[in-house]
Copies of this chain bind each other. A is one copy, B any other.
Amino acid sequence: MRNVAIIVSYDGREFNGFQSQPYGRTVQVEIETALQKLTGEDILLIGSGRTDAGVHARGQVCNFHTESSIPAERWAIALNTRLPKDIVVLEAHEVSLDFHSRRSAKRKTYRYSIDLAKFPDVFYRHYAYHHPTPLNVQAMLEGLRLLVGEHDFTSFTSIHSTKPHHIRTIYDVQMRQEGSILHTFITGNGFLYNMVRVIMGTLLWVGQGKLAPSEMTRILQGRKRSLAGPTAMPHALMLWEVEYAELQQSL
């Protein structure tokens, strides 16, 4: 028995999310199907976390157990020839048997992209949220920085969250503009259901001047979803990177 970790990018546009479910294409089922074709085994794929319908991934990490003797460096090319074009396996590594792509994850980074141009960039329309009216980016960054640290993020998760507690740590936040696209990067030890999207929906209120940056702290402390802003659109969100003690990625 071996344990193989793969780093996967996918264009979320035509998926009903990562995790297998009764309706629509999912990334998990597509990869499990490719693994079945390749090995003949029925393999369960473990992802570092779900991504919602429409959300993209640059560096999702998954692992699976197999009896196959295919060498680690052959998995990516062997899977890519059996996968649809909107999923690409970038790397594969043999890992210790107890590696678990969700439980072993140390840090995760998401990116959220906002197109600030008057008219949308046609080539980025599936990857950015178009916001043509002015945003106070400095105020957004100020508000975002108030979330860094260990907090109870109940206000910033869906009321449908099933987690036993909502304490998470945000390690780092960054905003970078490339042309008309404003990218926000949020790195933490884990993210609750819809957490990045609710943070971004609230930050958009800050950028629009509807909310002072300092209100982010009050919203955190209130621990009530209704205090925060709307859940921002999914198509602008991308799972950027997942980091592990064991896995050295070259992404």
**What is the interface of chain A, defined by CB distance below 8 A to chain B?**
9-11, 56, 58, 76-77, 80, 85-90, 119-123, 125, 127
Question: A11: which B residues are within 8 A, CB to CB?
Answer: 122-123, 125
CB pair B89–A123 under 8 Å, yes or no, is no
Q: A123 to B87: give the CA distance in the assembly, Å.
A: 10
21 inter-chain pairs at a CB distance below 8 angstroms, sorted by A residue, are A9-B121, A9-B122, A9-B123, A10-B122, A11-B122, A11-B123, A11-B125, A56-B123, A76-B119, A77-B119, A85-B122, A85-B125, A86-B122, A86-B125, A87-B122, A88-B119, A88-B120, A88-B121, A88-B122, A89-B119, A90-B119
Q: A10 to B80: give the CA distance in the assembly, Å.
A: 29
Indicate the member of A11, A77, A87, A122 with the most B CB atoms within 10 Å.
Answer: A122
Nearest residue (CB) in B for A124 is B123
Question: A88: which B residues are within 8 A, CB to CB?
Answer: 119-122
CB pair A123–B127 under 8 Å, yes or no, is yes
Q: A119 to B85: give the CA distance in the assembly, Å.
A: 11
Q: A192 to B99: give the CA distance in the assembly, Å.
A: 57
Q: A56 to B159: give the CA distance in the assembly, Å.
A: 43
Q: A10 to B125: give the CA distance in the assembly, Å.
A: 11
Nearest residue (CB) in B for A89 is B119
CB pair A119–B80 under 8 Å, yes or no, is yes
Q: A125 to B80: give the CA distance in the assembly, Å.
A: 14
Question: A9: which B residues are within 8 A, CB to CB?
Answer: 121-123
Q: A119 to B6: give the CA distance in the assembly, Å.
A: 13
Question: A119: which B residues are within 8 A, CB to CB?
Answer: 76-77, 80, 88-90
Question: A89: which B residues are within 8 A, CB to CB?
Answer: 119
